[in-house]
Structure 1
Amino acid sequence: MADEDFETGDLFQDPEGYYPEEEKPTFAEHQMLSGQTVRVRLVGSHPLYGNLLWNAGRTSAHYIEERADTLTRDKDVLEIGAAAGVPSIVSAIMGARTTVMTDYPDLDLVQNMQYNADLALDKIPSQSKLHVEGYKWGSTVEPLLAHIPSTGDEKPVSFDVLIMADVVYAWREHGNLIKTMQMALKKDPSAVALVIFTPYQPWLLPQTEKFFPLAESSGFTVTKIFEKLMGDVLFEDDPGDERLRRTVFGYELRWAPDQLESNA
């Protein structure tokens, strides 16, 4: 029997509206204290929160800009959980030698971070290098350290500054965050990890705050540096204490003196 061609019509065509439309990326702007504007693309409705410009990220960027001369200029900076990457971009604009912007190694997130890094290139001085990497907390930091220029001596390269904005809410990941700090932060008294966050779910604040005694037991000192009340909440319809949901908390974590002595 000879083969015959059969017309299938629209049998295998999904009906219109069968799949929800993918949300298009949106853009947001961060106004630097210098008057410059950092424009970033956000990731649609991505479940890993690349779709928002968080208060802690904006506050971190302002904190870095205000102190760039002593905090980040000519230094090596790593951002963990960067999302849109505003603090990384501001660090690079303000003259950090190396800035590595990281978030979970999801293709959409990493590509979006790279897009934002490229978008800011005209604002970044030529001597400042901004890199993008996917990174899972607690995993090896060797690919991140590889971006730091070698000093030519035998001392291992590591980062002078870690930016950790709105990451400690993930309390189940506290151990992995501290592991990353231990591997990535330079063993130097001036090296610092900036931990800045807002308790968007205030009832979980006691879980979030467990990060700090865990860090202290892991070789770090913890210093609260500010508590800033924002004008508006980020999520108006969320439950819980409104004042806490408007507040950004800032901490500095540095190596404890005994950790530096053991490294001498």
Structure 2
Amino acid sequence: MADDFDTGDMFQDPEGYYPPEKEPSFAEHKMLSGQVVRGNMLWNAGRISSEYIETHAPTLIAGKDVLEIGAAAGVPSIVSAIMGARTTVMTDYPDPDLVDNMRQNAEASVSMIPTNPPSSLHVTGYKWGSDVEPLKAYIPEDTRARGFDVLIMADVVYSHREHGNLVKTMQETLKRDKDAVALVIFTPYEPWLLPQTERFFPLAEQGGFTVTKVFEKLTEKVLFEDDPGVCAA
């Protein structure tokens, strides 16, 4: 008898019950040189980071080894490679779709990356706080043991429970050198949580880093419709 029981459409949601999924879209970041970098999942802090990197490239990026964590679209990494970083490693959480998205964005930008001197751009998954040796393996052997010159961290400190892992990653990837820098740029999309977000910086100081506020910028357009945040670094 049980095999004859038919529920029909009792558990079927009516047509139009859920809002339609948004079509995939791409955002563009226009560099000072006029070149255009495209990618999806481009957050405000990623755009601001890219502008800062391009403006300060001769001293901040050129000839350096660069790591980006929580890269999303990876535009800061792509701009770093275009501006002459020796090595750039673009990472985000090791989800196949996330990594594939970064890889597509990187491949779309290959023609803009210089070859003389060569600038290499790599894409891989990385979970904050995990083993960093696979990341350092991308650095040329002559300086691999020392680590990266620049660490890009755009809109990652909003994940409050990951602050400890972020500091651990900084400690294990950055060179122990006065010129090594972690560029931490964030947008307080939820201003009421700003005190928790800013706890990252004292924690970084406890971890042996010197924290310096470089700028604060009011963005022209919010990322989300109900986003009242500003961008700071």
Name the structure 1 match of 2:133: 142
Q: Does 2:75 align with 1:86? A: yes
1:77 match: secondary structure: strand
Name the structure 1 match of 2:190: 201
**Alpha-carbon deviations, 1:22-74, whole Å to 9, x = none?**
6543211111111110012x2xxxxxxxxx31111111001000111100101
**Alpha-carbon deviations, 1:193-238, whole Å to 9, x = none?**
0000010000000000000001111111100000111112222234
Q: Which ranges of 4 or more aligned residues in structure 1 deviate by more than 4 Å?
A: 14-18, 20-24
| Cα RMSD, aligned residues only | 2.0
Identity %: 68
Q: Pick the structure with greater CA Rg.
A: 1
Distance 1:15 1:201, change over 3 A: closer
Q: Superposed, which structure 2 residues align to 1:1-264 within 5 Å? A: 24-40=23-39, 42=40, 52-126=41-115, 127-151=118-142, 156-238=145-227, 242=228, 245=229, 247-250=230-233
1:208 match: secondary structure: helix
Q: TM-score, normalised by structure 2?
A: 0.89
Name the structure 2 match of 1:256: none
Structure 1 residue runs of 5 or longer lacking an equivalent are 1-13, 43-51, 251-264
Name the structure 2 match of 1:47: none
8 Å Cα contact 2:136/2:145 also seen in 1:
no
8 Å Cα contact 1:105/1:135 also seen in 2:
yes
Q: Distance in 1 between matches of 2:172 and 2:101?
A: 26
Aligned-residue offset at 1:16: 11
Q: 1:122 is matched by which residue type in structure 2?
A: S
Which structure: greater strand fraction?
1
8 Å Cα contact 1:150/1:157 also seen in 2:
no
Structure 2 residue runs of 5 or longer lacking an equivalent are 1-11
Q: TM-score, normalised by structure 1?
A: 0.79
Number of aligned residues: 219
Distance 1:235 1:22, change over 3 A: closer
Q: Distance in 1 between matches of 2:31 and 2:134?
A: 30
Q: Distance in 2 between matches of 1:186 and 1:79?
A: 14
